[in-house]
Amino acid sequence: MEFETVIGLEIHAELLTATKIFCGCAPKFGDAPNSHGCPVCLGLPGSLPVLNRRVVDMAIRMGLAVGCEISHNSVFARKNYFYPDLPKGYQISQYDMPLCTNGAIDIEAEGAKRNVRINRIHLEEDAGKLIHDQDADSLFDVNRCGTPLIEIVTEPDLRSGQEAYAYLTAIKQILEYLGICDCNMEEGSLRCDANISIRPKGETKLGTKTELKNMNTFRGVEKALAYEALRQRDAAASGEAIVQQTFRWDPDRNRTVVMRSKEEAHDYRYFPDPDLLPLVVDDAWIRRAAETMPELPARKRARFIADFGVTPYMADVLTLEAAIAKYFEETLAFCKDAKLVANWVMGEVLRFAKEKKISVASLSVTPRRLGALLGLVAEGALSANAAKRAFDIMEMQDKDAAAVVAEEGLTQISDTGELSKIVKDVVAKNPKEVQRYKAGETKLMGFFVGQVMKATGGKGNPREINKLVSELLGQG
Q: Footprint of Zn ion on this chain (CB under 5 A)?
A: 23, 25, 38, 40-41
Residue 371 interacting partner from ligand ADP, Zn ion, none (CB closer than 5 to 8 Å by kind): none
Query: Judged by CB under 6 A, does residue 392 bind ligand ADP?
Result: no
CB atoms under 10 Å from CB of 178, counted, come to 20
- The DSSP symbol for 31 reads S
In whole angstroms, give the CA distance from residue 371 to residue 336: 8
* Distance of alpha carbon 82 from alpha carbon 207, whole angstroms: 30
Taking CB atoms, the residue at the shortest distance from ligand ADP is: 8
Please give the distance of CA 146 from its chain centroid, rounded to a whole number: 26
Q: Binding to ligand ADP by residue 85, rule CB under 6 A?
A: no
Measured from the CB atom, is 49 or 367 closer to Zn ion? 49
Question: Helix, strand or coil for residue 132?
Answer: strand
Cβ at position 263, least distance to ligand ADP in Å: 9
* Residue 195 binds which of Zn ion, ligand ADP, none (CB < 5-8 A, kind-dependent): ligand ADP
Judged by beta carbon distances under 5 to 8 A according to partner kind, the member of ligand ADP, Zn ion, none in contact with residue 103 is none
Bridge partners (DSSP) listed for residue 421: none
Other beta carbons within 10 Å of 210: 22
What is the smallest separation between the CB atom of 232 and ligand ADP, expressed in angstroms? 10
Minimum distance from residue 308 beta carbon to Zn ion (Å)? 48
CB of 103: closest distance to Zn ion in angstroms?
31
Nearer to Zn ion, 38 or 97 (CB): 38
Give the separation between CA 107 and CA 103, rounded to whole angstroms: 13
Can you point out the beta strands (E) in 76-176?
Answer: 76-80, 90-94, 100-109, 112-125, 129-132, 138-141, 148-154
Residue 153 near which of Zn ion, ligand ADP, none (CB within 5-8 Å, type-dependent):
ligand ADP
Our CA angle for 269, 129, 45, nearest 5°, is 55
Region of 5-13, 124-132, 138-146, 312-320 interacting with ligand ADP (CB under 6 A) = 5-13
Q: Is 53 helix (H, G, I), strand (E, B) or coil?
A: helix
Which of ligand ADP, Zn ion, none is residue 41 near (CB under 5 to 8 Å by kind)? Zn ion
* Of residues 127 and 390, the one with the C-beta less far from ligand ADP: 127
Interface with ligand ADP includes 94 (CB under 6 A)?
no
Distance CA 17, CA 29 (A): 12
Is residue 144 within 8 Å of residue 128, measured between CB atoms?
yes
- Binding segment (CB under 6 A) for ligand ADP, from list 2-10, 163-171, 223-231, 351-359: 2-10
Stretch of 8-16, 77-85, 134-142, 235-243 lying at the interface with ligand ADP (CB under 6 A) = 8-16
Output 199 or 326, the one with its CB closest to ligand ADP.
Answer: 199
C-alpha 130/C-alpha 139 separation (Å) is: 6
Q: Is 10 among the residues that bind ligand ADP (CB under 6 A)? A: yes
Question: Per CB under 6 A, which of residues 138..197 are in contact with ligand ADP?
Answer: 153-156, 195-197
Q: Is 100 in the site for ligand ADP (CB under 6 A)?
A: no
Nearer to ligand ADP, 132 or 201 (CB): 201
Say how far apart CA 308 and CA 310 lie, in whole Å: 6
User: Is residue 206 within the footprint of ligand ADP (CB under 6 A)?
Assistant: yes
Q: Which residue from 48, 38, 18, 35 is spatially nearest to 143, judged by alpha carbons?
A: 35
Q: How far is CA 471 from CA 38, 338, 423, 462, in A?
A: 83, 33, 10, 14
CA 112 and chain centroid, separation: 20
Task: Report what 25 binds from Zn ion, ligand ADP, none; CB cut-off 5-8 Å by kind.
Answer: Zn ion
Q: Binding to ligand ADP by residue 265, rule CB under 6 A?
A: yes
Q: Shortest distance, CB of residue 8 to ligand ADP, whole angstroms?
A: 2
63 binds, among Zn ion, ligand ADP, none (CB under 5 to 8 A by kind): none
For 17, residues 6+ apart whose C-beta sits below 8 A from its C-beta are: 27, 52, 54, 55, 58, 148
**Residues interacting with ligand ADP, by CB under 6 A?**
6-10, 153-156, 195-197, 206-207, 209, 265
